[in-house]
Amino acid sequence: MAKKLAIIASKGTLDWAYPPFILASTAAALDYEVQIFFTFYGLTLLKKDLDGVKISPLGNPAMPMPVPMPNLIQMLPGMESMATMMMKQKMKDKGVASLEELRSLCQEAGVKLIACQMTVDLFDFKKEDFIDGIEFGGAATFFEFAGEADVSLFI
């Protein structure tokens, strides 16, 4: 029987968006059965439009910057968009897949994507804002799969 990987994706920034999709697509390539449960800010990763997925150096001292930048500068308007643009360009230069590409590779490989219904209600998200082919469910839905999973990750 295939091994199972259960992931909870709870974060919606560009850096934290990658691990769930990288691990899920790779596990699927290794013949795992995979489910990702998207909750809270992680739900952003299921939107059709991923432009809202950004990165900020603010409050993240570990983020490598071309020039050291004090927090006071980082909080200026436009800095977040600039950091996001720079990161995306760097990823492209280094041959790192875009989020959109990784996400559709996951779907092609049969990774099941589940949106947390409670979060959808909480943030008044509209179902039509999300990509096709996903399911909606709650914590019990996650445990139905995770309870039998060989690997479970909270990201």
Rounded-to-integer distance, Cα 100 and Cα 106, Å:
10
Sheet bearing 4-9, strands edge to edge: 135-137, 112-116, 33-38, 4-9, 151-154
Among 67, 94, 110, 127, binds another protein (CB under 8 A): 94
- Find the shortest distance in angstroms from Cβ 65 to another protein: 21
Q: What 8-state DSSP symbol labels residue 136?
A: E
- Segment near another protein (CB under 8 A); pick from 18-26, 40-48, 50-58, 128-136: 18-26
Q: What 8-state DSSP symbol labels residue 116?
A: E
CB 21 within 8 A of CB 103: yes
Residue 96 or 155: which CB sits closer to another protein?
Answer: 96
- Find the shortest distance in angstroms from Cβ 21 to another protein: 9
Q: Does 99 bind another protein (CB under 8 A)?
A: no
What x/- string results for residues 24 through 63 when contact with another protein is judged by CB under 8 A?
-xx--xxx--------------------------------
Task: Give the type of residue at 87.
Answer: M
CB atoms within 10 A of CB 73: 12
Q: Which residues in this chain contact another protein in the complex, by CB under 8 A?
A: 22, 25-26, 29-31, 94-97, 102, 105, 109
